[in-house]
Amino acid sequence: MANTLLMPKATAVWLVDNTALTFDQIAEFCKLHPLEVSAIADGDAAQGIKGMDPVMTGQLTREEIATAERDPNHKLKLSEPKVRVPETKRKGPRYTPLSKRQDRPNAILWLVRNHPELKDAQISRLVGTTKSTIEQIRERTHWNSANLVPMDPVTLGLCSQIDLDLEVQRAARYAPPAAPAGDTLLPASQTEGLSVENAQGDDHGHEEKELDAEAVFAKLSSLKSRSEDEEDEE
């Protein structure tokens, strides 16, 4: 609560009526426009709103107001709360309004398809559903499976993008490392040996080709000489 002002308009009304602060100082402290503060001072805005003393609520001190009154450029700062209330952690699934409950199966289907690493408990926290419903949608035994369309739960307003990213990060943290896909490179020692063998194999191939060519020419020459001898005999 240290960074949040309670009832800013009511506080602005009190500051206008009870201090000599400038409109800009009040506007910046109360997160209002200076023209709106000017309208409050003229009685054109915030009519019927009772001023709230920020000193009584512990959000400002008298010394802070006095310092700002002496220096028009001084920016008012909220006082640190004397008592810190611990944040209550939500237990159980998130509450979903009645108007959006019909969209939950579509959101579950989207999460199951796009983030298979999420556990049922995480999906339940995000969209406020039960594990049995998630299991039915996973196994396509849900009564309305044929009509379900995967839809982003953030777009549907069932959860925030921050909550979704947080659950995805948690799931990725405990997910097993992915196996390397595709062929991997061989060590240099093996590739050098293969290159030498290939080079030697190519040399043998060239020699064999040369030998084959010589054999062919020798056979042709023998056939030619044989035909000439036959002609001479005739």
Tokens of 82: 């004397």
- Burial class of residue 167 in the structure, from the number of CB atoms within 10 Å of its CB (0-12 exposed, 13-18 middle, 19+ buried): buried
Q: pLDDT band at 8, cuts 50/70/90?
A: confident
Q: What does the H/E/C string look like for the chain?
A: CCCCCCCHHHHHHHHHHHCCCCHHHHHHHHCCCHHHHHHHHHCCCCCCCCCCCCCCCCCCCHHHHHHHHHCCCCCCCCCCCCCCCCCCCCCCCCCCCHHHHHHHHHHHHHHHHHCCCCCHHHHHHHHCCCHHHHHHHHCCCCCCHHHCCCCCHHHHCCCCHHHHHHHHHHHHHHCCCCCCCCCCCCCHHHHHHHHHHHHHHHHHHHHHHHHHHHHHHHHHHHHHHHHHHHHHHC
Contact 28, 75 (CB under 8 A): yes
Is 228 a domain residue?
Answer: no
**Count of residues in the chain:** 234
The whole-number pLDDT of residue 58 equals 86
The residue range of the domain holding 32 is 8-70
pLDDT at position 228 over 80: no
Number of domains in the chain: 2
Is 231 a domain residue?
Answer: no
Q: pLDDT band at 129, cuts 50/70/90?
A: confident
Q: pLDDT band at 15, cuts 50/70/90?
A: very high
Is 224 a domain residue?
Answer: no
224 versus 99: the higher-pLDDT residue is 224
Q: pLDDT band at 19, cuts 50/70/90?
A: very high
Is 93 a domain residue?
Answer: no
Q: What percent of the chain has pLDDT over 70?
A: 64
In this predicted structure, which of 11-25, 37-51, 195-209, 211-225 has the lowest mean pLDDT? 195-209
> Considering all CA atoms of the chain, what is the largest pairwise distance in Å, rounded to the nearest integer?
143
pLDDT at position 192 over 90: no
Residues 61 and 12 in one domain: yes
Separation between Cα atoms, residue 138 and residue 113, nearest integer Å: 9
Is 24 a domain residue?
Answer: yes
Residues 57 and 107 in one domain: no
Q: pLDDT band at 145, cuts 50/70/90?
A: confident
The whole-number pLDDT of residue 176 equals 63
pLDDT digits (tens, 9 = 90+) for 38-54: 999 888 887 778 888 99
Is 64 a domain residue?
Answer: yes
Of 141, 174, 207, at which residue does a domain stop? 174
- Report CA 224 to chain centroid distance, whole Å: 83
Of 159, 174, 189, at which residue does a domain stop? 174
Tokens of 219: 């056979």
- Report CA 37 to chain centroid distance, whole Å: 40
Is 58 a domain residue?
Answer: yes
Of 174, 202, 222, at which residue does a domain stop? 174
The whole-number pLDDT of residue 2 equals 46
Is 63 a domain residue?
Answer: yes
The whole-number pLDDT of residue 66 equals 92
Residue range 153-170: mean pLDDT, rounded: 86
Contact 131, 124 (CB under 8 A): yes
Please choose, from the candidates 132, 122, 138, 126, the residue with its C-alpha nearest in 3D space to the C-alpha of residue 100: 126
pLDDT at position 71 over 90: yes
47 versus 34: the higher-pLDDT residue is 34
